Structure 1
Amino acid sequence: MTRLLGSLLLMAAAGATTLGAAPAPAHAAATPLDRVVPAPASVTPGGSPYRITRGTRVRVDASGSGSASGSGEVRRIAEYLTGVLRPSTGYRLPITDHGTGGIRLRLAEGPFGAEGYRLHSGSAGITLTASAPAGLFHGVQTLRQLLPAAVEKRTVQPGPWTVAGGTVEDRPRYGYRGAMLDVSRHFFGVAQVKRYIDQLALYKINELHLHLSDDQGWRIAVDSWPRLAPYGGSTEVGGGPGGYYTKADYREIVRYAAARYVEVVPEIDMPGHTNAALASYPELNCDGTAPPLYTGTDVGFSSLCVPKQVTYDFVDDVIRELAALTPGRYLHIGGDEAHSTSHADYVTFMNRVQPIVTKYGKTVIGWHQLTGATPVPGALAQYWGLDGTSAAEKAQVAKAAQHGTGLILSPADRVYLDMKYSKDTKLGLDWAGLVSVKRSYDWDPGSYLPGAPESAVKGVEAPLWSETLTTSADIEYMAFPRLAGAAELGWSPAATHDWDTYKVRLAAQGPRWDALGIGYFRSPEVPWQG
């Protein structure tokens, strides 16, 4: 009965209009406040809607920020918002720091945390309030979804542009909400990475994990080892031309991500997955002989030479240069599938390399095999096991979590976005099984790993490996719609997780993706519109 009453209130709100505005057509009812992804923590519908018109202004109010930099960030968020709205509405939407009404972006003290926000909509205007700029930015993403999908188009659309009345109060369940892009198996250029960053930001994902090195390609320039990128990055799976990021390229990716409150997490995978480095420098091999470049898809055959001092000189140089380029908190050192490294050598290597990361001011992240060594204090282990992973391996990770190692959950048979949706999916792999849209959503991070305390779970990440992917269209087809579900698992309260209601909200994203030019998999599990 409560849900029915809320729906009736939303319908009534959608039918109301702002003073002086023409009534909206009946077919243009405002999107209900709870019809967004990720699901907000709290929604209170009611009151008259707000309609964006030719006279709407965007007001910036950073009086609660306590700093000029905070004021500057609020204005930049306003510019981002108007950059979304102007092409489709055709309105000027001037940005101002005075007046009343319109769309107000406000920093103020409150129970929002670093990323939470409050959105209030009524006939007089819309107010977004947060304690920090990241919260305002996330609130802007909610506002986008409350407007018609056509708002995402880059040409003038007919509107109307109505936002339902009521209040959304929201903050994330987890601080780490990530997506990984493998640029090593196939290389993706700066523009392609930026496009993916924009798609992540729409769903409040705040970490972009870039897999920068593997057997098939080294993708970041390193001044102290100059052959790594031009030679080690000169190919990819299938023998294509490969490529790499100059330091200027990487800085541009970091800058672009930061403007969208996304932190870049660079990964240099080691001691395995290192053929591109071994091929570039013979001295990194125990026998002093460089192997040929590799363009296949096998794993587990390569290893840095653990006993050699030059290995640690190499690692120190790479981490030092990469840490200097990366303002974010984390540096990922890989550590999975080191099948050509003995267990004793693996432990020796990981225990020597972790302090190098901390020496340069970064927090260690490693794949969950890191827990077979001794994770340093503060380290995070990224768990990618399956439902069928051995009890002993799960227990090893859980024990580390019990002793203070944080966990990022990326179970391969749930959120590996490169897994096929069904046996007929033309792209992707199936070694972890088939991962339908429902399966990717229908699990709880807080209780997923037996024996691991819920407090150890720091977040969720959806990796996208690129053995079979070569274009942005490939990325999008495999990521959407499953990426939205992973984002919701990371952001929304556990109490909101329900497949039957989620699939309806997910279906409403389809027209938005169409407007954005995102080609997605139209899963038969989802009641898509049209």
Structure 2
Amino acid sequence: MGALVGAALLVAAGIGALGTAPATAAPDGATPLGRIVPAPAKVTPGGSAYEITAKTRIRVDDASKDARRIGGYLADVLRPSTGYRLPVTDDDAGDGIRLELSAKDKALGAEGYRLTSTGRSVTIVAHAPAGLFHGVQTLRQQLPAKAESDSRQSGPWLVAGGTVEDSPRYGYRSAMLDVSRHFFSVDKVKRYIDQLALYKINKLHLHLSDDQGWRIAIDSWPRLATYGGSTQVGGGAGGHYTKAQYKDIVRYAASRYLEVVPEIDMPSHTNAALASYAELNCDGVAPPLYTGTEVGFSSLCVNKQVTYDFVDDVVRELAALTPGKYLHIGGDEAHSTSHEDYVTFMNRVQPIVAKYGKTVVGWHQLTEATPIKGALAQYWGLDGTSAAEKAQVAAAAKNGTGLVISPADRTYLDMKYTKDTPLGLAWAGYVEVQRSYDWDPGNYLPGAPAAAVKGVEAPMWSETLSESAQVEYMAFPRLPGVAELGWSPAATHDWNTYKVRLAEQAPRWDALGIAYYKSPQVPWNG
């Protein structure tokens, strides 16, 4: 989407024009090494900058299909703006950009990389393909923002000299997109994936079912998608993904080294399913489709065997479509389900997920039952969540349940920035940019062992959002901060230095046509 299109959509939503801000240039014209988002683990600047020219080649080991594919991705990013051919070659002689997978560099781990820039070349070394891809994202941010343009721009295209050695703090760095309240097309999801990849996010949590819509085709229960997916908040047409479309999203995410984590929310948030099949209701009567925004009123019938036949079928088909490790079973806001029934349901459903080879993820209410071995609880509580509820989650963490931290009043990207934000909700309070960044996932939940924290997530609920520009306006500039909390060492987390690096991202968003909120807390240079 171009900037003008994004601006038009925001104007239609009552939002002003896109923000702009020129980057602060280093004395030699290059972005200072490591002044990127997320902040790298270790930066050693020095030496001459490398300049990409018409003679530059992207050099890879021909034996590695992954390196060649990542080299092609980099070339596709840079060819429109530079106007250069940037051939991807296995010819190792000469200068250029080198992408190298190294079996001996085990210390870099599954996602780490080392980028070395000299006057003659830029070399990115990684132990695994994901690390090579993340190193390419660092290279992108070291180049001028106009490198992201889809039309030819003037250079020079400089990469500051020195070495970046980098690997993530957490292995689980996620963003969620709610496609249930409003349906988002495959192309819109892919656009968001590209934006997540730039900031080294490695999980895409897709919220595929809720009261307002069921968004994935299930062959054994076809009315879930064709009827349950036929509407959305406000009564629009809704929609769903065919299995082929879902697999296309999964493949595209994998090409950007994001793992799709699908969510089927249950036992509550299930009106779309209950409306589609009367037998899933305790009274055998299907309720009407729902297009409002209330929560907690629906529940699968815990005491019927057909409920578990339904869950088994859905999990089986979804697991077969999803090569990733995780499957999210929701579990929050089950206000119409008794505590006893909730425990019964969750303790019966978790083994079904395990049976089909997936690791259970659930909202932190899962800890009201008995989390299965290896399960992850996603904590979304607020600063004001009761001490008892926090203690319950912490106790589960002490007993081996992993935690994904996503406090609603810190990381929920659909929360309004201020009372004047024209989109979003405010039930968790107003969440300005500093509040979304200025906290530590490792010690956020009292009593939970730091080792239990597996990562962070930035959820985007869509009650008020239906277009990419609206999603972007709520995600930017908060999403990069959550990404930094997940990737960068805790010692690098400092609002005063981060906000300067964040401001320098704005020209890149402009070049990419990304809509964003020009927060007064950030020192934009324009």
Short-chain TM bin:
over 0.9
Whether 1:248 aligns to 2:244 is yes
Return the alpha-carbon distance in structure 1 between the equivalents of residues 158 and 516 of structure 2.
27
Return the alpha-carbon distance in structure 2 between the equivalents of residues 34 and 148 of structure 1.
13
Whether 1:84 aligns to 2:58 is no
Please tell me the residue identity of whatever aligns with 1:255: R
User: Unmatched 5+ residue regions in structure 1?
Assistant: 1-9, 16-28, 63-67
Return the alpha-carbon distance in structure 1 between the equivalents of residues 286 and 357 of structure 2.
32
Return the alpha-carbon distance in structure 2 between the equivalents of residues 265 and 529 of structure 1.
38
Q: Which residue of 2 aligns with 1:129?
A: 125
Whether 1:333 aligns to 2:329 is yes
State the 1:61 CA deviation.
2.7
Whether 1:415 aligns to 2:411 is yes
SS in 2 for 1:44: strand
Q: Which residue of 2 aligns with 1:107?
A: 101
Deviations 1:171-197 (A, max 9, x none): 000000000000000000000000000
Aligned length: 499
Q: Which residue of 2 aligns with 1:429?
A: 425
Please tell me the residue identity of whatever aligns with 1:226: P
Whether 1:495 aligns to 2:491 is yes
User: Contact 1:286–1:305 at 8 Å: present in 2 too?
Assistant: yes
Q: What is the TM-score of this pair, normalised by structure 2?
A: 0.94
SS in 2 for 1:168: strand
User: Contact 1:117–1:130 at 8 Å: present in 2 too?
Assistant: yes
User: Contact 1:419–1:428 at 8 Å: present in 2 too?
Assistant: yes
Return the alpha-carbon distance in structure 1 between the equivalents of residues 44 and 407 of structure 2.
34
User: Unmatched 5+ residue regions in structure 2?
Assistant: 1-24
Whether 1:45 aligns to 2:72 is no
Whether 1:320 aligns to 2:338 is no
SS in 2 for 1:467: coil
Q: Which residue of 2 aligns with 1:377?
A: 373
In the TM superposition, what are the counterparts of 1:275-314 in structure 2 within 5 Å?
275-314=271-310
Q: Which residue of 2 aligns with 1:57?
A: 57
- Percent identity of the aligned residues? 78
Return the alpha-carbon distance in structure 2 between the equivalents of residues 79 and 34 of structure 1.
24
Q: Which residue of 2 aligns with 1:165?
A: 161
Return the alpha-carbon distance in structure 1 between the equivalents of residues 212 and 445 of structure 2.
32
State the 1:520 CA deviation.
0.1
Return the alpha-carbon distance in structure 2 between the equivalents of residues 73 and 162 of structure 1.
26
User: Contact 1:51–1:123 at 8 Å: present in 2 too?
Assistant: yes
Return the alpha-carbon distance in structure 1 between the equivalents of residues 94 and 451 of structure 2.
43
Deviations 1:316-354 (A, max 9, x none): 000000000000000000000000000000000000000
In the TM superposition, what are the counterparts of 1:69-468 in structure 2 within 5 Å?
71-98=64-91, 99-108=93-102, 109-110=104-105, 111-468=107-464
Return the alpha-carbon distance in structure 2 between the equivalents of residues 388 and 495 of structure 1.
27
State the 1:101 CA deviation.
1.5
State the 1:495 CA deviation.
0.1
Q: Which residue of 2 aligns with 1:479?
A: 475
Please tell me the residue identity of whatever aligns with 2:58: V
CA RMSD of aligned residues (A): 0.8
Please tell me the residue identity of whatever aligns with 1:92: R
Return the alpha-carbon distance in structure 1 between the equivalents of residues 240 and 141 of structure 2.
35
Deviations 1:59-107 (A, max 9, x none): 0037xxxxx5xx0011000000000010000000111112122000001
Q: Which residue of 1 aligns with 2:6?
A: none
User: Contact 1:510–1:529 at 8 Å: present in 2 too?
Assistant: no
Please tell me the residue identity of whatever aligns with 1:194: K
State the 1:33 CA deviation.
1.0
User: Contact 1:229–1:244 at 8 Å: present in 2 too?
Assistant: yes
User: Contact 1:103–1:127 at 8 Å: present in 2 too?
Assistant: yes
Return the alpha-carbon distance in structure 1 between the equivalents of residues 427 and 326 of structure 2.
29
4+ residue stretches of structure 1 with deviation over 6 A? none
SS in 2 for 1:365: strand
Return the alpha-carbon distance in structure 2 between the equivalents of residues 470 and 317 of structure 1.
30
Greater relative contact order, per chain length (Cα 8 Å cut-off, separation 6+): 2
SS in 2 for 1:103: strand
Return the alpha-carbon distance in structure 2 between the equivalents of residues 56 and 34 of structure 1.
22
